[in-house]
Every structure is written in structure tokens, then in C-alpha cells.
Amino acid sequence: MYRFILFALPPFAAILFGLVSCTTSFDMSNERIIAPGPEWGVVIGSVLVRPEDIASGKNAAGRDVFNFSYEFDIVPIQPGDPNGEGPYVKQYRLDAKGGEERIFIARLLSGQYLIRRFHEEGLTGLGGELDVVFASMAGEVRYIGRVVVEIPRRISKGKDYRFTVENAREPTLAQVSITHPDLIKEAVNMPMQVRGDER
């Protein structure tokens, strides 16, 4: 479990996040996805934003995570651009509703990708850094895990949030098999990693 501090998006960053036309939806599960080829791979995983657990006897009143939607910022990275900030880098966005697991399927060029951060939908939303990396490999279908973000009940700038990467292969692939049964037959486990984590 990783603990970080929530931040409020500065105006210029919020505007950038709001420019939907500059980003591509990361989830392609509603499309017809052909088998991986010599340049492309497929990754399967999920994200979940939920309120932190409240110990018995504590006041759980506060902002309801379930009433908000969240966006995850995903970019391809390479040694010369480890944060995916170059002017021609393709930007991906993954939307998730609070309290609901969002399963995704993405057909991607071979290479490394970074889940940079998450943030509450809207120009004044709170968010935080994730710095989670995964790789797409040509010719492979990869299950990369589930990112779970836990938000404080009383959410505000400067509050801790927590996240972890879990293996939820069986329930995730069971859901994917309903619409994409051919993809799960060759899926291999290649979990996401928090950058800099050497454990």
C-alpha cells in the first residue's frame, strides 16, 4: 500500500485535463479488438477508486466518493522522455466512477506506459500522483492487474490517499470473456509496477 498527498490541480493543468479532444480513451472494450500482431499488444486490467475503510466508532460522515467520477492520465514513455511529456506524445484518459471497478482493454504499440496520476473530474478536482508503469508487447495479451485508490472520507488538499496494485485476474478475465472470449485464452500475467519500487 502506498500513501501520498492529495493536491488540487492548478488552473493550467485543469484546463489541459479538460481538453478531451487532445486525449484518446484508453478503454477499447466496446470496440472489436483483433488479435495482437507484430507491432501491437493488448493489455487488460482495471482501476477502482473507493473510500478508505473507517474504523469502528469513527465518524464516517464527509464527502461521498461514490458521487464523483475520476480520470486517470496514461502516456507512453521511453528513456529520453520518462514522464511522457514530449509535444507529440499520445495522451490517454481512463474514466472511472467512484466505488465502481472500471475494467479496461487497450490495444497498444509495443513499449512502456505510465499511469501518471488520477484526478477528480472537473476543473477544480483533487488528485494525486500514481507513477505506475506497465508494458505492452507485440503479439501478446497481458493481464496487468488492478489499481485500487483509497480516498479519505473527509477529502481535502493535503490529505493522504493510498493506492495499491492487486491481482484480480480471475474476476476480471471472467468479465472480459463475455464480450472478448478469444482474448483471454492467451493472457499472461505481467503486473504493473510502481516506478522506483524495487521490492
pLDDT tens sequence across 34-63: 878 899 999 999 999 998 775 433 444 555
**Tens of pLDDT, residues 129-164:** 999 999 999 999 999 999 999 988 765 555 578 899
Phi, psi of 56 (to 5 degrees): -55, 135
Residue 151 domain boundaries: 2-194
Residue 15 domain-assigned (yes or no): yes
Q: Would you say residue 199 lies in a domain?
A: no
**What global pTM score does this model have?**
0.83
Closest CA to 91 of 41, 192, 17: 17
Say what percent of the chain tops pLDDT 70: 77
**Cα–Cα distance for residue pair 60/148, rounded to 1 Å:** 20
Select the more confidently predicted residue: 186 or 92: 92
How many domains does the chain fold into? 1
pLDDT in tens, 86-114: 989 999 999 999 999 999 999 999 999 99
Would you say 142 and 190 are in contact if contact means Cβ atoms under 8 Å apart? yes
Tell me whether residue 182 is in a domain.
yes
Residue identified by cell 500513501 is 3
Confidence of residue 16 (pLDDT cuts 50, 70, 90): very low
